[in-house]
Amino acid sequence: MNGEESPRSTERAARARAGVLRLHRLRWLRLPGYVVVCWAGLGIALAAREQLGRYDLGTELAVLAGFAQGAAVVLALWRPLQAWALSLAGVVVAALTARPVLVGHPLPGPSWPWTTAEVLAQALVLLLLALRVRPRLSFSVLGATALMTWLVQGLIGGANYTSTGVTAVGVFGAVVLVGTALRGLGEARTQLVEQETITAEERARRTVLEERNRIARELHDVVAHHMSVISIQAQVAPHLVPDPSEELKENLAGIRQNALEALGELRRVLGVLRSENPEDPYGLGAAGAGAAPDTPQPTLDRLDALLENTRAAGLDVAAVIRGDAPAYPPGVQLSAYRIVQEALSNALRHAPGSQVRVMLGHHARGLYLEIANSRPRHPVRPSPGAGHGLLGMRERATMLGGHVSAYPTLHGGFAVSAFLPRDGVACDLEDAEDIGALEGLELVFPDDPPALPAPPGDAHEPHDEPGDREHPLRPSTREGKR
């Protein structure tokens, strides 16, 4: 998860790739259906030609009428309305042409006006049409088919024949009902998928906004502290200068007044972003946490207490600090603390009993963090969390011009690494090439790490790298490196 990438662009690219794969998959799935329909059309064309031979239509007209039914079945795959018109026209032409032959025909007469092959062809065409068009048009086509059947058989009529009009219309009605039901089921599924997609997108968008509001509430204290300092300094400054001029006093009074007005505006902003939970006005804890609004925001100096609390919860935590810590801005320290806090919370939920290493690397350009845990040693219980912790980390790092990466490790654990620029300003890519995971940070957590007693009189282990120091709260065990 890189803070430099836009989540919407990444989501669009993933959706486009999924759409392309789905399109290719659907094409391959449709190919067998096309083959089956084409073979069915060929079989219906041959059967219709044989049945129409009983009407004494002649070879040319029988072949033409038969293959019109087969062609209509195949055409219905792409143009169902035109296919229905072609099939019905072929039936009407064949029935009217065969009508004189029915006079004096020995009983029982041939099936008229619909032969068995024509019923099958028209049924397939109506089924494909009902799957493609709206129900109103499907039933309109069914009504037109029934009306044409009644005109040919009821009004025009014939002499000696076996009536198939009622049976054919009944079959067509059942086919249209089935096709309409299948179409409605498909539309319902499509709408459900679309609604779920929209809901997921809205949930993700709302989560981003909630994380940003949470960060804004936390940064309120930092900004308010600076504005308060400005106000106090502007008030005290005239007393530090002998015989200050009136112009200087007016300027300092204006600075103090602007600082106080800015504090008032910040309070209004906080009121807009306030939590719905009255017991948690900053939205930093769970319901009933009772977080006081005047509680100072945490900094890197409070990492010791955070690590100690995590060890008390059952994790084996080691902390390593590299380099000398410069004076980071409060916003950088707050974001670093929250990233470490969220990573340790994820390890508690998803890797109970694991070993965790927290590394802080102080560089000239900024602060590098890595929190890596081994595979869980105890059964993982279902977590009620929404899974948005990594999103909050990314938002915090992006706000400062940094980045966050989260990835599974080779030993079955998980690692979160982050870089926060020293002054909260994004570094140039060319200048940031040497910033990243330091050598030796890929950890190997053995199942049963052997206890290696330290040599007598030596408080430090002989393999410590220069610039590394074990955290003072860490028990005297170390992990292997590779």
Q: Which two tokens stand for residue 323?
A: 């380099």
- Would you say 114 and 162 are in contact if contact means Cβ atoms under 8 Å apart? no
Say what the pLDDT of residue 33 is: 77
Please report where in the chains the tokens 């062609």 appear, as a residue: 71
Residue 358: what pLDDT? 94
Q: How confident is the model at residue 198 (pLDDT cuts 50, 70, 90)?
A: confident
Model pLDDT, residue 255: 86
Q: Please tell me the least confidently modeled range out of 176-190, 258-272, 379-393.
A: 379-393
Q: What percentage of the chain has pLDDT greater than the value 70?
A: 70
Strand-pairing partners, residue 369, are 360, 418
CA distances 146 to 81, 112, 157, 172, Å, are 16, 14, 15, 9
Maximum mean pLDDT: which of 133-147, 213-227, 418-432: 133-147
pTM for the structure as a whole: 0.47
**Do residues 413 and 354 make contact, with C-beta atoms less than 8 angstroms apart?**
yes
d(C-alpha 218, C-alpha 270), whole Å: 10
Write down the pLDDT at residue 6.
47
Q: How many whole angstroms separate alpha carbon 426 and alpha carbon 399?
A: 9
Tell me the chain's radius of gyration from C-alpha atoms.
39
| CB count in 10 Å sphere of residue 445 | 21
Indicate if the pLDDT at residue 176 is higher than 90. Answer: yes
Which range among 92-96, 236-240, 263-267, 463-467 shows the weakest confidence by mean pLDDT?
463-467
What's the distance, CA 61 to chain centroid?
59
Alpha-carbon distance of 189 to 356, in angstroms, equals 45
pLDDT digits (tens, 9 = 90+) for 468-482: 444 443 333 333 333
Q: Are 173 and 142 in contact (CB under 8 A)?
A: yes
Query: What average pLDDT does this structure show over 170-199?
Result: 90
Distances (CA, A) of 317 to 37, 312, 374, 476, 478: 66, 10, 11, 11, 10
Cβ proximity of 353 and 378 under 8 Å: yes
Task: For residue 358, give every residue at least 6 positions away whose Cβ sits within 8 Å of its Cβ, in sequence order, or none.
Answer: 303, 307, 317, 318, 319, 320, 340, 344, 369, 370, 371, 471
**Per-residue model confidence (pLDDT) at position 98:** 81
Look at 358 and 428; give whichever has higher pLDDT: 358
Phi, psi of 306 (to 5 degrees): -65, -45
- Residue 162 has what pLDDT? 80
CA 322, 327, 333, 337 dihedral sign is positive
Among 130, 138, 125, 128, which Cα is nearest to 91's?
A: 125
pLDDT of residue 2: 41
356: helix, strand or coil: strand
SS3 percent helix, strand, coil of the chain, rounded to 5, is 55, 10, 35
Range ranked top by mean pLDDT from 11-25, 108-122, 216-230, 271-285: 108-122
Mean pLDDT (the chain) is 75
Lowest mean per-residue pLDDT among 196-210, 387-401, 453-467: 453-467
| pLDDT digit string, tens, across residues 350-381 | 888 889 999 999 988 899 999 999 988 877 77
pLDDT score of 465 more than 60: no
Q: What is the pLDDT of residues 7-35, one digit of tens each?
A: 455 555 555 555 554 545 555 567 777 78
Contact 373, 359 (CB under 8 A): no
Whether the pLDDT of residue 154 is over 90: the answer is no
Q: Name the DSSP class of 237.
A: G
pLDDT score, position 169:
94
